[in-house]
Amino acid sequence: MNDKEKMIIHLDIADRKYGVSINRKDEELYRKAATMINERVNKYRERVPGGMREDYIAMVTFDLAFQLTTMESLNDTEPYRQKLAELTRELEGRFREEQTETNAG
């Protein structure tokens, strides 16, 4: 990434400010991610008042990791690809058999 594509933005995450060097085209995504984290931290603060900031952040991290893992498992298309390949081979074999029977008959 060259210097023209980069920029530094400041994000407030869980009551702390962070300067982050990012690709310009990703700014909106970074800001949405920071908003998502803050909303979840606030949700835990409401549920468990008086907790430590680090605990809230740990729970948010766990929530997001669980969500990512769940999404990855839903997007795993390899079993479907394997089944499609198997069915394709089976159909091709049957078409060949029919072709052979038609040519022989």
pLDDT at 36: 96
CA angle 49/37/2 to nearest 5° reads 150
How far apart, in whole angstroms, are the C-alpha atoms of residue 42 and residue 35? 10
What is the pLDDT averaged over residues 33-55?
96
Inform me whether the pLDDT recorded for 94 exceeds 80: yes
Query: In the chain, pLDDT over 90 holds for what percent of residues?
Result: 61
pLDDT at 105: 67
- The residues, ordered by sequence, that sit 6+ positions from 36 with a Cβ below 8 Å of its Cβ are 64
Strands (E), 1-105: 6-13, 16-23
89 against 7, higher pLDDT: 7
Inform me whether the pLDDT recorded for 30 exceeds 90: yes
Instruction: Please state whether the predicted TM-score (pTM) of the whole model is above 0.75.
Output: no
pLDDT tens, position by position, 50-88: 999 999 999 999 999 999 998 888 777 777 888 888 888
89 against 21, higher pLDDT: 21
